[in-house]
């Protein structure tokens, strides 16, 4: 059978164009199976792994179905972690950007007042962790009456974190006339029970890509006593010379200790763990995505939901204690269709854990041979030569997407009684600029941001020099952020 094309799903042009900008040329297996069903509003249970393109599998049809004029949220996505909530929000924002879909993420540890403000605006899609979503529902700050789609993502993880009760409370508050979509890597009985209660004749979809993820990732382990781990890590770095790598440790302290040792050797590395402030964590992830440093040393909080392109190596400096985390960790590489290497350090005492991981996932992880002195010496030279060349900046989704989208700043906002339609009116009155060239308009108290599409920012900035908005003089320039 010929490979399907996104056009075959009869999606609207704004969505097709966004997919093209994102470089999504043809649908993945899960997308092929799931998109047509969601477009027909069928309830589905999808067994699939992260890395299969499952986020877009639900985000594409939901974006297609969103009614842009509706003020209240139409889709709710529940996720087990903040990182995943943000990742999914980002995916929705890109896929829905040209259609002007507004998506917001809400999660614990971020001031609730900030989220309440965001939820007061026109928001089409809300992603978030169950606890904080429930909090907003109880405060009446999240209006649910127009919700047509509920997505429960990584349901198995939700279950193992003890979030199921909260998930059920959220479901109980939603309109009955909705489509429910559940995604999970495994479907334990408790989840099936939930599906039977809250879903209508759900269809079961299974995606076989688990094996292809395994095929794309070369996995090996090294038996090593704890005190020699750092020395082995150096050898591997020299011989493998990763372009971009995540190194997983068991605890925050292990992360901090390893970062100190690696910085002393001048490796380009940063830490990421739960002891850091939320903002700091997000900044680190963003800068890692842009390729600003090579090694992200982290705990398992980074094992899920972080979607960074072209991670070449995952190194389990400490073997994961929970076997599920093994697949989540190594799934950060070999994303979609790229290849990757996953290396696990195992102390003799931990050998049993390795065997359990192999048994659980029906895989055989081969033992790596420790590089010889000669290999290390040659590798070291090549490693330092590579360092001399400028670091390779990664073109992440935002760079790809933003090539012809520019955010502009306008020095007037709510306090001057400016509304989105005033801004849109003024901008589209500039000769050569059409309403379709205006993307998301974000009105703050004292200023506003507007996305200008199709490379027309210069034309708009020039035009605004001679314009007022609602009779008020304004200053407009390229936004700094």
Give me the least distance between CB of 207 and ligand AMP, in Å please: 10
The residue from 47, 54, 281, 416 that contacts ligand AMP (CB under 6 A) is 54
Q: Which residues of 247-275 are buried (b: 16+ CB within 10 A; e: fewer)?
A: bbbeebebbeebbebbeeeebebbbbbee
Residue 80 binds ligand AMP (CB under 6 A)? no
Pick from 453, 400, 481, 426: nearest CA to 23: 400
Q: Which is nearer to ligand AMP, 43 or 396 (CB)?
A: 396
Site for ligand AMP in 290-319 (CB under 6 A): 307
Q: Which is nearer to ligand AMP, 50 or 104 (CB)?
A: 50
Query: Quick one: DSSP state of residue 156?
Result: H
Number of residues that bind ligand AMP (CB under 6 A): 14
Give, rounded to a whole angstrom, the gap between the first and last alpha carbons of the chain.
46
DSSP notation for 334-351 = S-TT--EEEEEEE-GGGH
Build a one-symbol-per-residue string for 332-351: x at contacts with ligand AMP by CB under 6 A, - elsewhere.
---xx---------------
Calpha distance 124→172 (Å, rounded): 20
Q: Tell me which stretch binds ligand AMP (CB under 6 A): 47-55, 73-81, 133-141, 379-387.
A: 47-55
The residue from 50, 115, 294, 299 that contacts ligand AMP (CB under 6 A) is 50
Give me the least distance between CB of 306 and ligand AMP, in Å please: 9
Q: Which is nearer to ligand AMP, 30 or 249 (CB)?
A: 30
Q: Are 80 and 304 in contact (CB under 8 A)?
A: yes
Q: Are 152 and 202 in contact (CB under 8 A)?
A: no
Q: Which is nearer to ligand AMP, 51 or 291 (CB)?
A: 51
Q: Are 440 and 100 in contact (CB under 8 A)?
A: yes
Site for ligand AMP in 165-184 (CB under 6 A): none
Q: Are 213 and 49 in contact (CB under 8 A)?
A: yes
Q: Which is nearer to ligand AMP, 50 or 234 (CB)?
A: 50
The residue from 18, 55, 102, 406 that contacts ligand AMP (CB under 6 A) is 55
Q: Tell me which stretch binds ligand AMP (CB under 6 A): 46-54, 125-133, 194-202, 232-240.
A: 46-54
Query: Quick one: DSSP state of residue 103?
Result: E
Contacts of 206 (CB under 8 A, 6+ apart): 46, 47, 48
Q: Are strands 366-367 and 217-223 parallel, antiparallel or unpaired?
A: parallel
Give me the least distance between CB of 88 and ligand AMP, in Å please: 8
Give me the least distance between CB of 331 and ligand AMP, in Å please: 8
Interface contacts to ligand AMP, rule CB under 6 A: 24, 27-28, 31, 50-56, 307, 335-336
């Amino acid at each position: 059978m010929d490979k399907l094309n996104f056009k075959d799903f009869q999606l609207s042009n704004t969505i097709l164009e966004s997919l093209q900008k994102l470089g999504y040329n043809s649908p993945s297996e899960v997308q092929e199976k799931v998109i047509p069903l969601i477009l027909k509003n069928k309830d589905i249970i999808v067994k699939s792994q992260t890395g299969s393109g499952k986020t877009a599998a639900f985000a594409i049809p939901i974006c297609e179905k969103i009614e842009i004029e509706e003020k209240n949220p139409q889709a709710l996505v529940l996720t087990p972690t903040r990182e995943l909530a943000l990742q999914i929000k980002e995916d929705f924002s890109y896929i829905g950007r040209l259609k002007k879909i507004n998506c917001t993420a809400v999660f614990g540890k971020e001031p609730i007042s900030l989220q309440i403000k965001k939820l007061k605006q026109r928001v089409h899609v809300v992603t978030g962790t169950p606890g904080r979503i429930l909090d907003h529902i109880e405060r009446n700050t999240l209006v649910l009456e127009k919700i047509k789609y509920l997505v429960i993502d990584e349901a198995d993880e939700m279950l193992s974190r003890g979030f199921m009760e909260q998930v059920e409370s959220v479901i109980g508050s939603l309109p009955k006339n909705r489509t429910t979509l559940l995604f999970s890597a495994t479907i334990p009985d408790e989840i099936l029970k939930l599906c039977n209660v809250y879903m209508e004749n759900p269809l079961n979809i299974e995606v076989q890509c688990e094996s292809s993820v395994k095929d794309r990732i070369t996995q090996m382990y090294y038996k090593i006593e704890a005190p020699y781990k750092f020395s082995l890590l150096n050898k591997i770095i020299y011989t493998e010379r990763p372009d971009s790598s995540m190194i997983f440790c068991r605890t925050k302290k292990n992360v901090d200790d390893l970062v100190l040792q690696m910085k002393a050797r001048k490796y380009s590395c940063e830490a990421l763990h739960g002891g850091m402030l939320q903002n700091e964590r997000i900044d680190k992830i963003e800068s890692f995505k842009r390729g600003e440093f090579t090694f992200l040393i982290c705990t398992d909080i980074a094992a899920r939901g972080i979607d960074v392109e072209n991670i070449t190596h995952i190194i389990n400096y400490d073997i994961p204690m929970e076997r599920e985390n093994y697949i989540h960790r190594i799934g950060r590489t070999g994303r979609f269709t790229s290849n990757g290497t996953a290396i696990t350090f195992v102390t003799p005492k931990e050998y049993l854990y390795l065997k359990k991981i192999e048994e659980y996932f029906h895989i055989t992880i081969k033992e790596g041979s420790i590089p010889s002195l000669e290999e290390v010496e040659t590798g070291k030279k090549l490693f330092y030569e590579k360092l001399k060349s400028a670091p390779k900046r990664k073109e992440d989704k935002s760079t790809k997407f933003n090539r012809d989208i520019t955010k502009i700043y306008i020095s007037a906002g709510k306090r001057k009684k400016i509304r989105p339609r005033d801004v849109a009116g003024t901008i589209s009155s500039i000769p050569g600029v059409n309403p379709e060239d205006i993307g998301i308009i974000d009105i703050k108290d004292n200023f506003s941001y507007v996305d200008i599409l199709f490379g027309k920012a210069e034309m708009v900035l020039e035009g605004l020099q001679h314009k007022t908005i609602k009779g008020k003089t304004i200053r407009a320039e390229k936004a700094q952020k």
